[in-house]
Amino acid sequence: MQQSKTRYPQCNLSACLLPWTKEFELDVSVYEAHIQDTLSAGYKHIYLTGTAGEGYTLSEKRFRQVVEIFADKTVKPGIDPQVGVISTSMEHMLERMAFCYGKGIRMFQITLPCWGALDDDELLLFFQTVCGTFADCRFLHYNNPRSKRRLTGKDYRRIADQVPNLVATKNSSSDYSVTYEVIRNAPDLQHFFLEGNYPFGSLLGECSLLCSYGHVFPQTTWRYYEAGVKGDKDELFRIQELFHYAGGRLFEHCKRDMIDSAFDKTFVWLRMPEFSNRLLPPYIGLSEDESRVCLELFQREFADIP
């Protein structure tokens, strides 16, 4: 497949998560250490308040607190921080972006309003308004099925032709046909894939990685990303198999459906015990017993994987 020049650099993107105290206040010192650990692990592209970062549940006060600390640590030469903005209200999104803009953030991860699915005209209006209001910023669209409309490559082509600062997408689908279609129709956007579809995307053309396992297997995740850049199929699929096995093994005793952050926070906690994996209510993550079993499995089977 012929590769167009992309609007955003190919990279390995890492999420920063939020640790809560027993009183459900931000554990500031642990949060600051987590951000610094992420930077020290070699990440230049990092983001805050996506799905794993509980961006869907933060009050305005909490949102401003976590963004202010994040911006203070990451708005500096050589780092490209981005903030996720999730809301049912476009007006609310613009207000949050204005606050982030004042703190030096120039890259945003956005989702569609989730109260009702947008039609084609509403979709274009959303991107033109949100991206156009901050014309000197860049935007990554998180193609989240919770918004009730998953965008296709043809949707992205139509939008990108009219919204020049839409530069990237994030796709969590493990459907190969979805991966093929977005790369084929919008090759100028930088498409981020999770570990399930990153190998296939890498075989089609330039794409980027957002891997859930970066905080628990940091060096292995970098090898995974680099294998995709080089087109090393053997290494790609070897590491993909490892990730799938480890994720299934660590959580096979958890029989409840849990929101994404329950798993992502546990990955951080396994390597950083002072980082609590509790979630903001009403969401409930792993219980103490479930966490204990997970830790025992990790120490017995996976702790030696870098």
Residue 134 tokens, joined: 């901050």
Q: Residue 291 falls within a domain, yes or no? A: no
Q: Residue 289 falls within a domain, yes or no? A: no
Place of tokens 């921080």: 81
Q: Residue 249 falls within a domain, yes or no? A: no
Structural domain boundaries enclosing 91: 14-231
The answer to whether residues 13 and 172 touch, using CB atoms and an 8 Å cutoff, is: no
Place of tokens 């951080």: 268
- The number of folded domains in the chain is 1
In angstroms, what CA-CA distances link 266 with 54, 125, 224, 246, 262? Answer: 14, 38, 21, 13, 6
The answer to whether residues 162 and 130 touch, using CB atoms and an 8 Å cutoff, is: no
Place of tokens 């992420």: 38
Q: Residue 288 falls within a domain, yes or no? A: no
Q: Residue 268 falls within a domain, yes or no? A: no
Residue 79 tokens, joined: 């780092």
What is d(CA 129, CA 135) in angstroms, rounded to the nearest whole number?
A: 10
In angstroms, what CA-CA distances link 98 with 133, 164, 165? Answer: 9, 20, 16
What is d(CA 267, CA 260) in angstroms, rounded to the nearest whole number?
A: 11
Give the distance from CA 206 to its chain's centroid.
18
Q: What are the pLDDT tens digits along the chain (306 aa)?
A: 445 699 999 999 999 999 999 999 999 999 999 999 999 999 999 999 998 899 999 999 999 999 999 999 999 999 999 999 999 999 999 999 999 999 999 999 999 998 889 999 999 999 999 999 999 999 999 998 888 889 999 999 999 999 999 999 999 888 899 999 999 999 999 999 999 999 999 999 999 999 999 999 999 999 999 999 999 999 999 999 999 999 999 999 999 999 999 999 999 999 999 999 999 999 999 999 999 999 999 999 999 999
The answer to whether residues 189 and 166 touch, using CB atoms and an 8 Å cutoff, is: yes
Q: Residue 64 falls within a domain, yes or no? A: yes
Q: Residue 245 falls within a domain, yes or no? A: no
Q: Residue 131 falls within a domain, yes or no? A: yes
Q: What is the CATH number of the domain that holds 169?
A: 3.20.20.70
